[in-house]
Structure 1
Amino acid sequence: MKENYIISGIQQIGIGVENFAEAWRYYIEVFNMDIRILEDDKVAELMLPYTGGKPQKRRAAIALNLQGGGGFEIWQYSDRKPKPADFEIQAGDLGVFAAKIKSKDVEKTYELFSKKPNINLLGKPEISIDGNKTFFMKDPYGNIFQIVHDTTIYRNEGRLTGGIVGAMIGVTDIEKAMPIYRDILGYDIVIADETGTFNDIKVLPSGEGQFRRRILSHSKPRQGSFSELFGKSYIELVQPRERTPRKIYEGRFWGDPGFIQICFDVRNTDALRKKCEEMGYPFTVDSSQSFKEGESFDMGEAAGQFAYIEDPDGTLIELVEAHKIPLLKKLNLYLDLRKRDPRKPLSKKMLGMLRFMKVKPESL
């Protein structure tokens, strides 16, 4: 049966931090995440299953790189001391353990990064299981990023890297994880599937062990307002074969330091809710249940609806349906997405206006 909801792509990966301004400055310098889509300092009232049963105040921003790909949701608790993991996260631990960043030239990106003193490179470029070169780096906060080959550019700003193009997600059983990623999120083609030891991930903690790795993508181009900006994406499921992986957020709250969630831009939340329930993955958080039909959840400078589901190992997957976004805040210009064809991408001219929302690191 043809689904009547739309997955437009990876909107962002959430990154919990202990110092909001410092972390954002770093992500601007290294990954050019300098487009402020929204920022607010409200109370997270609806995330009670993941915040100790209490509303929690936080400061959060969604930042993009206009060369394309998903963004970062940079997130810090305001009234609670963030709790980092009390163990070193290993390759294949349960959750997002590495974020994939797109690069039009992996070797040149490596050369550029090797000249920056604040980038911790983990080994040199190696061939991954998809046949392309890749390398890993670690930010000052312990988060691991994988730089991967992807030559598509949405708006050419003369940069080597774009935004998020996927994630490495630890699982206990790849086959059990497939229904949610394939049948709900649309990652219906297998780019590569191999079991063994791998040169490219040996640089990661416990990366010298045995793994099964499967890289997924989607056979059809994504549709929706931001589909061309977000572009094609990849989910890599990683299953350790010689050890029992740990839950990255075990004993911690959503929003604590690390990769909090992977978020998808969607349309028709009602149809998606029904599909998830039928598949056995009901929404664990659903903003639309707190409002009258058609109303939006206030996201500071934007508005819409959001929901969460969990994969079989508890990895948080956010589903956001944007209703209103800022295009040029100085002129109070906002775009109401509910008045548009939900399958049609926004024009490059229109999204190009986001360049006027660039953030200067010194202003943070």
Structure 2
Amino acid sequence: MSNNPLIAGIQQVGIGVQNVPEAWTWYRKVLGFDVPVFDEKAEAPLMTPYTGGIVQKRQAALVLNMAGGGGLEIWSFTSRVSQPLSFKMELGDLGINAIRFKAPDIHKAYAHIKANSQEPIGPLLKLPEGEGFWGQDPYGNIFQVTGDSTWFQKTSHPVGGVAGVVVGVSDMDKSIAFYEDLLGGLETVYDLSGVFDDLPTTIAGQHYRRVLLRKSFTPYGAFSKLLGNTQIELLQALDRSPKKLFKNRFWGDCGYIHLCFDALDMNTLKTELQGKGYPFTVDSESSFGMESAAGRFAYLEDPDGTLIELVETHKVPILKKIGWFMDIQKRKHQKPLPDWMIKTMSFSRVKD
């Protein structure tokens, strides 16, 4: 890898839903994602490799939790009905199984979600590292809430942003190599095999190999302080052949559609990843506008076809109300933006 990090952290995880405003209301009230970066309706012409060869229309909203962590891109087709999964997902199925949200105080987060969501929530558990709990959103998507050491600021909300994801894989060693090549400098927090009581699986006695990889925060990249640590938990089901979550469905259909990283130097990243056998399947090549934000985006696939998005941010709204945008490309360095500047994005917070 290059001397400097090429990825700052998880920018967002895409969630395919059938109704963006309704889903955002839940994620805003229950999990604190109340600051919009963009919310727009448009066509997705570059994504035809994953949308049946046809240009589809969509609505997408990128929303942040200002305590720190990655955001969510809440996404829906508008030219067709977003298709749900035709079977019940089991942990270890191929794709993004769950988002890991972080909380400064697990017990407060647990009480808040229990009080504000009608959806099932599991018990507080001792995890292989720390403690946490599992829950689900109104659309059947599983999530986990855990502790974390990286925070941008204190907010009044008891839950923070995206700390990581749980990804189902078919060949653990191949997947570890992929994420190491992609992110570089990963710490293996644990590598365990067996039956795990904390995993919400309906298959009794299911054996897994689970590996937690962590990329620790480094102050390099405009938004690195907001994004914090990156955690990728890989989960391989050892007793069965896992199903592919997006087989015979489009990118953008219901569920976790992609894992998006904040890329700092797309040209170098592309050269390095292609040299290691991971070609870009989509590349906007130049800046692509999303309402008042813009950047170059690309996609590649992990060894099981799970979609990884890379976004090199070029323009971002700092204070939408007065039309103040930050042109990242004009900066001559990759130092983090000043805290006060990122905090002004909170002025566009949506209050319920």
TM-score by structure 2 length? 0.97
> How far off its partner does 1:342 sit?
4.0
**Judging changes above 3 Å, is the alpha-carbon distance between structure 1 residues 117 and 298 closer, same or farther for their aligned structure 2 residues?**
closer
State the match for 1:221 in structure 2: 218
Match 1:274 to one of 271, 275, 295: 271
- Per the TM alignment, residue 112 of structure 1 is displaced from its structure 2 partner at its CA by 2.3
1:283-329, Cα deviation, whole Å (9 max, x unpaired): 000000xxxxxx41122211110000100000100000010001112
* 1:128 is the counterpart of 2:119: no
Task: Name the CA shift for 1:279/1:26 in 2 (closer, same or farther; >3 Å).
Answer: same
Find 2:240's aligned residue among 235, 243, 252. 243
Number of the residue aligned with 2:152: 154
SS at match of 2:249: coil
Equivalent residues of 2:5, 2:220 under 8 A apart:
no
Q: What amino acid maps onto 1:174 in structure 2?
A: M
Q: Residue 204 of structure 1 aligns to which amino acid in structure 2?
A: T
Tell me the amino acid that sits aligned with residue 241 of structure 1: L
Distance change >3 Å, CA 113–CA 236, structure 1 → 2:
same
Structure 1 residues 92 and 222, CA gap change in structure 2 (3 angstroms): farther
Note the alpha carbon deviations across 1:240-277, whole angstroms, 9 max, x for none: 01011111111100000100000000121111110111
Which of residues 315, 321, 329 is equivalent to 2:312? 321
1:132-147 residue pairs with structure 2 within 5 A? 132-147=130-145
What is the alpha-carbon distance in structure 1 between the residues aligned to residue 245 and residue 162 of structure 2? 20
Runs (4+) of structure 1 moved beyond 6 Å?
Answer: none
CA distance in 2, matches of 1:115, 1:328: 33
Contact 1:105 1:151 in 2 (8 A): no
> What is the deviation of 1:220?
6.1
- Kindly state the Cα deviation for residue 106 of structure 1 after the two structures are TM-superposed: 1.3
Contact 1:95–1:315 (CA under 8 A) maintained in structure 2:
yes
How far apart in 2 are the matches of 1:5 and 1:221?
8
Is the CA contact 1:181–1:187 (under 8 Å) kept in the aligned structure 2? no
- For 2:211 and 2:22, the matched residues in 1 are separated by 35
In structure 1, what is the Cα distance between the partners aligned to 2:53 and 2:172? 31
**Counterpart code for 1:171:** V
Match of 2:171 in 1: 173
Residue of structure 1 equivalent to 2:50: 50
Structure 2 letter corresponding to 1:125: L
Residues 23 and 331 (structure 1), Cα distance of their counterparts in 2 relative to 1, 3 Å cut: same
Q: Deviations over 1:104-140 (max 9, x none)?
A: 111222122222352320x21111112x111100111
What one-letter code is carried by the residue in structure 2 that aligns with 1:194? L
Letter in 2 for 1:126: L
Report whether the alignment pairs 1:196 with 2:194.
yes
> How does the TM-score come out when normalised to structure 1?
0.93
CA distance in 2, matches of 1:104, 1:206: 32
1:95 Cα offset (Å): 0.7
SS of 1:262's equivalent in the other structure is strand
**Alpha-carbon distance, 1:82 to partner:** 0.8
8 Å Cα contact 2:217-2:229 kept in structure 1 = no
CA contact (8 A) 1:9 1:222 kept: no
Aligned to 2:336, which of 322, 345, 348?
345
Instruction: Give secondary structure in 2 for the equivalent of 1:42.
Output: strand
Give the partner amino acid of 2:207.
Answer: Q
Superposition deviation, residue 45 in structure 1: 0.3
CA contact (8 A) 1:93 1:170 kept: yes
Q: Is it true that 1:209 corresponds to 2:202 in the alignment?
A: no
User: How far off its partner does 1:200 sit?
Assistant: 0.8
Partner of residue 113, structure 1 = 113
Distance in 1, Cα, partners of 2:204 & 2:255: 19
Query: Deviation of residue 153 (structure 1)?
Result: 2.5
- Paired residue type of 2:234: L
Pick closer, same or farther for the CA change 1:82–1:207 going to 2, 3 Å.
Answer: farther
Query: 2:287 aligned to 285, 296, 303, which one?
Result: 296
Residue 308 of structure 1: aligned partner: 299
Question: SS at 1:355's partner residue?
Answer: helix
Q: Give the match for residue 332 of structure 1.
A: 323
| Equivalent pair of 2:293/2:316 in contact (CA under 8 Å) | yes
Shift, 1:5, TM fit: 5.8
- Asked whether the 8 Å contact 1:189–1:216 carries over to 2, the reply is yes
Report the equivalent of 2:17.
17
What's the RMSD between the two structures over aligned residues? 1.5
Structure 2: tracts of 5 or more residues without a match: none
Cα 1:175/1:250, change in 2 over 3 Å: same
Deviation at 1:231, TM superposition (A): 0.2
Gaps of 5+ in 1: 289-294
Shift of residue 214, structure 1, vs aligned partner? 0.3
For 1:335, the aligned partner's letter is M
Q: Which residue of 1 aligns with 2:82?
A: 82
